[in-house]
């Protein structure tokens, strides 16, 4: 009876401290399996910046390396052993890491997947709407091609849930344009060098094509078209700083950028903190809806001009914050420093 009373008093005391404005300091684990990709690097910097800006995170425990689902499973179990309060994870393979996510939530750890969905029902998800991302861009591309012709379809990483969702969106748009055919389908692995070499190899075949849809590997695709003196067909990519700059400056280039902010990592920290403080979302999955900026209409050109930020790395999305989900400054995300750094 005395033990129950002490626990009750402790809980009441914690509640009083929280209501009085005293921040609870948490440790948040982070698991990411792609290193050296600009989007993922912005995601990590957003996690650090939001953790710092929140004033509620004492420490980040970050596993950030190039690995597969088996490696991520190991990283997640290390974070569980470290007794972190929450884990923000960008999953390599949803099914492949499900066991570790369940182990985490069974241990009382809040799990938030960012960027991509997971299959573990106890985990929360906050993600850019990947299916809509692909659908918006593909529909614009096919319309710009005049509703006919052949397209080079440059996907992300095979097996990644974001790629699978984008494939659904792309094929949804494709079904609406029966006279558009896929001339070539490749997986870029979301790697700049790989994507550029793939389009150069296809250009070298001499087979004509009328448009290119990319899964966010975009500025190097435009570079390849220019360097090889190939026809500047319409190109769809993400809101990466380099591509947005090209849409504003490369003469004769028609294209569209679909927003896919890496700052979703910071949103994941915010959601994890809300859940830790008892403010669970109404739904297990929260989606951030994309927008499309094109350089064909005057209105689109104005949007691209306003969005351009040449001070950012070319591979970083210009959408460095998300309304209602991030509170850091530009200087904080660029500095890429978390609590204690």
Q: What is the pLDDT of residues 171-214, one digit of tens each?
A: 999 999 999 999 999 999 999 999 999 999 999 999 999 999 99
Closest residue by Cα to residue 93 from 16, 30, 25, 160: 160
- Averaged pLDDT score across all residues of the chain: 92
Q: What is the pLDDT of residues 72-83, one digit of tens each?
A: 999 999 999 999
pLDDT on residue 313: 95
Q: What is the pLDDT of residues 39-77, one digit of tens each?
A: 999 999 999 999 999 999 999 999 999 999 999 999 999
Domain membership of residue 312 (yes or no) is no
Domain membership of residue 303 (yes or no) is no
Assigned token pair, 86? 């929450």
Backbone angles phi, psi at 286, to 5 degrees: -115, 125
C-alpha 59 chain-centroid distance: 23
240 and 269, same domain (yes or no) = no
Assigned token pair, 258? 């679909």
Domain membership of residue 300 (yes or no) is no
Residue 17: pLDDT band (50, 70, 90) is: very low
Give the integer Cα–Cα distance in Å for 267 and 269.
5
Strand, helix or coil at 286?
Answer: strand
CA dihedral 70, 121, 163, 316 (to 10 degrees): -90
Residue 3: pLDDT band (50, 70, 90) is: very low
147 and 82, same domain (yes or no) = no
Residue range(s) defining the domain that contains residue 183 = 130-258
7 and 83, same domain (yes or no) = yes
Q: How many domains does the chain have?
A: 2
Give the integer Cα–Cα distance in Å for 67 and 31.
11
Per mean pLDDT, which range of 6-10, 259-263, 307-311 is the poorest? 6-10
118 and 141, same domain (yes or no) = no
248 and 137, same domain (yes or no) = yes
79 and 11, same domain (yes or no) = yes
Cβ contacts of 105 within 8 Å, gap of 6 or more: 111, 120, 122, 123
Q: What is the pLDDT of residues 281-309, one digit of tens each?
A: 999 999 999 999 999 999 999 999 999 99
State the DSSP code for 215: S
Domain membership of residue 238 (yes or no) is yes
pLDDT on residue 159: 87
Give the integer Cα–Cα distance in Å for 64 and 276.
23
pLDDT on residue 23: 55
116 and 8, same domain (yes or no) = yes
253 and 269, same domain (yes or no) = no
135 and 125, same domain (yes or no) = no
Res. 123: pLDDT tops 90: yes
123 and 150, same domain (yes or no) = no
We report the CATH number of the domain holding residue 237 as 3.40.50.2300
Domain membership of residue 62 (yes or no) is yes
Give the integer Cα–Cα distance in Å for 125 and 119.
10
Domain membership of residue 309 (yes or no) is no
Quick one: what percent of the chain has pLDDT higher than 90? 89
Cβ contacts of 66 within 8 Å, gap of 6 or more: 33, 34, 35, 36
6 and 125, same domain (yes or no) = yes
Q: How many CA atoms lie within 13 A of 152 on its CB side?
A: 29
CB 229 within 8 A of CB 203: no
Domain membership of residue 297 (yes or no) is no
Domain membership of residue 183 (yes or no) is yes
121 and 266, same domain (yes or no) = yes
pLDDT on residue 335: 98
């Amino acid at each position: 009876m005395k033990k129950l009373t002490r626990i009750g008093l402790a809980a009441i005391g914690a509640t009083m401290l929280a209501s009085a404005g005293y921040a609870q300091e948490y440790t948040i684990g982070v698991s990411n399996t792609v290193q050296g990709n600009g989007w993922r690097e912005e995601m990590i910097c957003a996690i650090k910046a939001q953790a710092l800006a929140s004033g509620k995170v004492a420490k980040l425990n970050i596993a950030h390396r190039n690995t597969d689902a088996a490696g991520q499973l190991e990283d997640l179990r290390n974070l569980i052993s470290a007794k972190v309060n929450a884990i923000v994870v960008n999953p390599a393979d949803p099914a492949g890491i499900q066991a570790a996510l369940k182990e985490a939530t069974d241990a009382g750890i809040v799990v938030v997947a960012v960027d991509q969905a997971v299959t573990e029902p106890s985990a929360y998800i906050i993600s850019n709407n990947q299916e809509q991302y692909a659908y918006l861009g593909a529909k614009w591309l096919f319309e710009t091609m005049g509703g006919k012709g052949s397209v080079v379809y440059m996907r992300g990483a095979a097996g990644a849930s974001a790629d699978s969702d984008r494939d659904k969106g792309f094929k949804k748009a494709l079904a609406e344009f029966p006279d558009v055919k896929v001339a070539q389908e490749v997986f870029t692995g979301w790697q700049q060098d790989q994507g550029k070499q793939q389009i150069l190899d296809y250009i070298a075949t001499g087979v004509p094509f009328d448009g290119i849809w990319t899964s966010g590997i975009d500025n190097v695709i435009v570079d390849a078209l220019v360097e090889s003196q190939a026809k500047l067909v319409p190109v769809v990519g993400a809101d990466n700083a380099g591509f947005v700059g090209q849409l504003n400056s490369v003469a004769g280039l028609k294209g569209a950028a679909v927003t896919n902010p890496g700052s979703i990592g910071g949103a994941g920290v915010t959601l994890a903190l809300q859940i830790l403080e008892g403010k669970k979302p109404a739904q297990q999955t929260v989606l951030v809806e994309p927008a499309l900026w094109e350089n064909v209409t005057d209105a689109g050109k104005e949007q691209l001009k306003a969005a351009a930020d040449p001070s950012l790395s070319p591979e970083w999305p210009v959408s460095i914050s998300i309304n209602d989900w991030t509170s850091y400054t530009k200087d904080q995300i660029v500095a890429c420093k978390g609590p204690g750094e």
